[in-house]
Amino acid sequence: MPLNSRTLKPQKADNDAAQNDLYAFMRELGDQMKSDAKVLEALALLERGDWQQAHAIVQQHETQDAAWLHGIVHVLEGDLDNARYWYERAKRTFSPDAKSELAAARQTLDA
């Protein structure tokens, strides 16, 4: 860490930058935890058959898990072309078997 040549103390700008990096990391981690919780909420809604509410949640998130659940939503509503698109975004092989996909999602997301 560079020192201020007059005081031989660490330069404040470097301390501020490190602190800002830490705050940014903490915000990002908090956002990820909120996203994960919402994706789990969407999964629970899908398991109860409420694909409309689940859809409202997953379309707000950009993770691969959210994309997978988004694909399952479209399987449940019968829009298989759209479901294939979301499975591709999730980097998963398409399956029209919503029941087994929900079981696999539960197992994966609970791990």
Torsion of Cα atoms, 28 then 31 then 32 then 37, to 10°: 160
Instruction: Compute the distance between CA of residue 100 and CA of residue 81 in angstroms, rounded to an integer.
Output: 19
pLDDT at 22: 60
Report the pLDDT value the prediction gives residue 50, as an integer from 0 to 100. 94
Residues 64-105 pLDDT 10s: 999 999 999 999 999 999 999 999 999 999 999 999 999 999
What is the reported pLDDT for 111?
77
The per-residue pLDDT for range 10-32, each reduced to its tens digit, is 555 556 666 666 655 566 545 45
In the predicted structure, residue 5 carries a pLDDT above the cut 60: no
pTM flag (> 0.75): no
Evaluate whether 83 touches 89 at the Cβ level (below 8 Å).
Answer: no
Q: If you average pLDDT over residues 58-69, what whole number do you get?
A: 93
70 SS3 class: helix
User: Is residue 45's pLDDT more than 90?
Assistant: yes
